[in-house]
Each structure stands twice: as C-alpha cells, then as structure tokens.
A and B are shown apart, each in its own frame.
Chain A
Amino acid sequence: MRRGLAVLIAVVLVLVATGGFAVIGVRHASHQNSLNDERAQVALLAGRYAVDFTSVDYRHLQADFDAAAKNATADFSKKYLATVQAFATLYTKGQVVQTTSVDLAGVSSLTSTSAVVLVALKGVATNTKTKLGTQQLFRMQISLTKVGDRWLTNNVVPL
C-alpha cells in the first residue's frame, strides 16, 4: 500500500512537471504560430495598402485617396490626405492614371503591435504626354501599427 502510494505520488509529480512544461511549450508554440500568421498577414496587407497609396485615376481621385486613407491611422490619414490634395490638380490636369501591383514584400521587423514591411511594386502610368504608359518601379517601406484587431498604416516611405 505504501509502495503503491509512493509510486502514485512519484507519477503525479512527473505528470505535474511534464504537464506544466507541456502547457508552457504549447503556449509558446501557439504564440510563435500566431506571430507567423501575423507575419504573413502584415506582408499581405502592406502590399495591398501600398497598391492603394500608389494607384490613382484622375477620374476618381478622391475615391482613390479615401480608399488609401481608410486603412491608415487617424494621424497618418490626415497627413496623407493633406499631401495628396496638393497633387490633385496636377493629376487632373495631366489626366494621370497609374496602376501598380506588388512584385515582392518582405518583413523588415515585426512585433505584436507594429511592423515594418518593404514592398516592391511595378507600376504603369499614363498621362496626356505618355499615352502608352511608362513602367515604374516603386520601393516602399510601409510601417504598420495594430489598432484593436486591425493593422493600419502609420507611415509610408518611398526608398
């Protein structure tokens, strides 16, 4: 009986220890999996946002600007809209149409609340002078911050 109890106590101790480490391990693995998911998500979102920031059509400029601004933080949205408004007249006058697509995106840094993503985009722009369009390469550094459960742009730097 005593021997049985001793064995049981030993087994319970082993169970507690292994179980404890397993729980810690599972939580850590879960956190890492979550970060990996975030990594893929921020790369995807940054590419999408970069396309929004670089794609304009003089026929619906404001809608294009608003589409880009809606995925930005309040501060950056305000700055962005103020900046692009200065180009609105030029875009309209030159009948600028620019479409872009993501070539490649790479995560430069990532935490649970912030990320910096490099996005390489190819673009084609047409205007009154170049009807056939000129190809352009964009190098964008998109900084994201997590607000609630959404990743929002808080800075865009052309490199």
Chain B
Amino acid sequence: MTEHDESGKDRSEFVAVTPRGGEPATDEAVAAEPEDVAVTEPAAPPVDDPAEPSQSAESEPPAAPTAPEPATASIVAERPDVPSLDKTGADAPRTDPGVRLPEPERDADGGVEVSVRVAAEGMAAALSSAAPVPGLERDAEPTRSAGPLAIVTAVCVVLALAAAVLLAVTARTNSHHRAVAAARTAALDAAKRETAVALTYDYRSLDADFQRAEAGMSRKFRANYARTAASSVAPLATKTHAITTGTIAAGGVVSATPDTARILVFANQTVENKLLNATSRLDRSVIEVTMVKENGRWVIDNLQPF
C-alpha cells in the first residue's frame, strides 16, 4: 500500500498496513515487506487526505482495500532508516489512539526484537517531523481553530473583570461622595436650625425651651448642655428675666464625612433682660458646631463659641 504524506509525496517504500474498521490486514501485506510495515491502531483515524486514498504499491495486494491512511504511518515514514514492524492482525498489540509506540523490530529470523534505541529514534524522528503526528493532529486541529478565539475571549474576560473591579471601586467612591455631599447639606441645615433653638429661651418657659434644645442634641452633648443649663443659664435667666432669641446669619461647612460634620455658624442673639438699659442687645457670635448623625438624624454634638 502506498502512503502519501500531506505534500503528496509518495512514500510507498514504507508500507503501513492499516486494517479498516478494526479488521486485520491481510497476511500478504505483512509478508510482502515485513521490515517496512508499521503497526497501526486498528481504530486509528485517517489522517492523510481521505479524498485521495492511497494507491497500492507494488508490494501491496491490490485486493486489499485501503482505508484512508492513519497518520500513525508517518512515524515510520519520516524516518526511512528506522525500520519498524507492523504487526497486523487480530493479535497485534494495541496502543492508545493517537499515541503509538515504536514496535518491536523483527530480527532476521522473523522474531521480534525489542530495540529501545530504534524505538527512541523512531519516536524522536516522529516528534521532530514536520509531518502531522497521528492522533495529536486530530486533537490539535480544533485547538488550532479555537485557539485565537479562546485567547481573545480570555483577554476580554480579564478586561471585563478589571472593568468590573474598577466599576465597583468607583461606585463605592461615588457612593461615598454622594453621602458626604448629602451630609454637608443636611448637617448644615440642622446646625443652623438646632443652634438657633439652643440660643433661644425665655425665663418664663425655661424647662420647655431646654427640652426643645436637647431634642436636637446628641446623647453625649445633651447631658453637658442640661448640666450647664441647670447650673448657669437657668438661675441667671430667672434672675434677670432674660429672653433671648437666636438667629443664624450664615453657616458654612468646615469639613464633613457621611456621619460627622464641622459647621461654622455666625449666630446673632437678641438679648432682653431687666439689667439692660436699652430694650435689647444684639450679640454676634461665631460658633463652631460639631454635628453627628445619630439614629438617622443630624444633631449637635458640641458647640464651641469663639
């Protein structure tokens, strides 16, 4: 049987007999050129162009139907100096499809001699050959076609993951920015409102006024304020009949986080009491108001007048 490699070169001098469909090749094929016959896996797939079935060589019985040549034949075909033995027939040793070990060499008496050297040379020749490696080629073909696609897909996946990470980071950053912006507005409004309340009291309704002011303060500051109000403000206000009204001239944000803020407040406090010669007095003050978010509400955590 003549074998053609991919380039169409006739390699009839090395005959590989390939049983079709697992059927043993004819004994004549083995007998014709025992040294040049390679053993192939019966189920080994064809590699050479199936459209061009191998032509029978002069040593090949014409009656023997030739299947498309298994690529395993190329192992020996690439190295004409390396004889190989094709043991065809039902008792031929089987190897895994696609992986074919060099076969034992027949000696002069027709026996089989295992030659490690020859096997190694044959394998090396096959691996270094430009010809397709049987079995491997079958596996490699879809890999070659999917290779670039897989690489592009992998690159895109990596890029998409990187973009997702970037998106997550920026989303978190933007969320923080939004929270701080909201804190600025809410804390500023609350600071103006609650500071004005804290600066407003009437000696005739001190308890209610203080309670109203404490409602806009944090738990921590509320205790301090209550202590000061009870010990200092209330006695003096009662004694002088003080009536004060606080208003806020302006306010600005010194700094803010989602849960805390420092607010600069320009407060005006109109004071009336019986000690004043005039009807009232306007006190202008500068107050740094520390605000905290407590239970979802912005409340005063400290008042620091300058």
Contacts and interface: CB of A to CB of B under 8 A. Distances in A.
Interface string A89-130: 000000000000001111110000000111010100000000
A44 B164 CA distance: 37
B250 interface: yes
B266 A118 contact: yes
Given A4-B153, A14-B160, A139-B284, A117 B266 contact: no
Contacts of A118: 250-252, 264, 266
B156 A15 contact: yes
A159 B250 contact: yes
A33 B181 CA distance: 12
A41 interface: no
Interface in A1-60: 1, 4-5, 7-8, 11-12, 14-15, 18-19, 21-22, 25-26, 28-29, 32-33, 36, 43
Given A104-B288, A107-B253, A25 B264 contact: no
Given A5-B149, A15-B163, A19-B163, A105 B254 contact: yes
Nearest to A7: B153
A25 B249 CA distance: 38
Contacts of A18: 160, 163-164, 167
**Chain A CB within 10 Å, residue with most, of B164, B170, B263:** B170
A141 interface: yes
A67 interface: no
B150 interface: yes
Nearest to A138: B286
Query: By DSSP majority rule, is chain A's interface helix, strand, loop, or mixed?
Result: helix
Interface residues of A, number: 36
A104 B159 contact: no
Contacts of A63: none
Contact of B250 (A12, A103, A108): A108
Contacts of B264: 104-106, 118, 120
A31 to B, nearest CB: 9
Contacts of A147: none
Given A29-B170, A159-B266, A117 B163 contact: no
A58 B74 CA distance: 106
A74 interface: no
Interface residues of B, number: 34
B295 to A, nearest CB: 25
B157 interface: yes
A137 interface: yes
B306 A120 contact: yes
Given A139-B249, A159-B249, A25 B171 contact: yes
Interface string B164-176: 1011001101100
A36 B255 CA distance: 10
B236 to A, nearest CB: 23
Given A106-B253, A137-B286, A29 B173 contact: yes
Given A15-B159, A22-B166, A106 B174 contact: no
Contacts of B306: 103-104, 120, 122, 137
A6 to B, nearest CB: 10
Q: Which of B145, B250, B262 has the most CB of A within 10 A?
A: B250
Given A103-B286, A103-B306, A139-B286, A25 B156 contact: no
Interface of B: 145-146, 149-150, 152-153, 156-157, 159-160, 163-164, 166-167, 170-171, 173-174, 177, 181, 249-254, 262-264, 266, 284, 286, 288, 306
Given A25-B174, A105-B254, 4 more contacts: A11-B157, A29-B174, A118-B250, A120-B286
